[in-house]
Amino acid sequence: MKPESSDPSAAPATGERLHGSLVFPNLSMLAAHQNGLAWEPFHPGVDIHWLYRQDGHGASAALIRFQPGASVPLHEHRGLEHIYILRGSQSDGNGRLSAGSLMVHLPGTRHSIVSEEGCLVLAIYEKPARFVVGNGGDEP
């Protein structure tokens, strides 16, 4: 696994290698510094910043930023997914998660997500998700 950026002077989400591990020393401060990160479009109104990705088929972690009212369509988790809400809130069929909440989705879980107020989440995936509606791709 490698970080998306190896520049140690980059924004706070740049991983640092330490004895074969990735360390993100300022991860809790990302809500305040998110505008300095390299965001990619993920879905309309939803952007993603990869912390690391393992060859597109394995483990990965990312920050996901929802604009108010944005959503992610129905998808199925092929491995564990951990979602930690850093700022704002999001809802799915299980209810509403607010800042400070952690949700662990088990393999086989299906859901779609909406964030009425907008949110910033840390997502950690064992394996990429499979989109069920409108996208047969392998992006988480």
Instruction: Bin 42: left if φ > 0, else alpha if -120 < ψ < 50, else beta.
Output: alpha
- Structural domain total, the chain: 1
Query: Is residue 53 domain-resident?
Result: yes
Q: Which domain holds residue 114?
A: 38-131
Which pLDDT belongs to residue 138?
Answer: 44
pLDDT in tens, 19-56: 778 888 777 776 678 888 899 999 999 999 999 888 77
pLDDT in tens, 77-120: 999 999 999 999 999 988 999 999 999 999 999 999 999 999 99
Q: What confidence tier does 137 reach under pLDDT thresholds 50, 70, 90?
A: very low
CATH of the domain at 98: 2.60.120.10
Query: Is residue 69 domain-resident?
Result: yes
Query: Is residue 97 domain-resident?
Result: yes
83-87, 119-123, 130-134: least confident range? 130-134
- Of the candidates 42, 44, 1, 48, the one whose C-alpha atom is nearest the C-alpha of residue 23 is 1
Which pLDDT belongs to residue 80?
Answer: 96
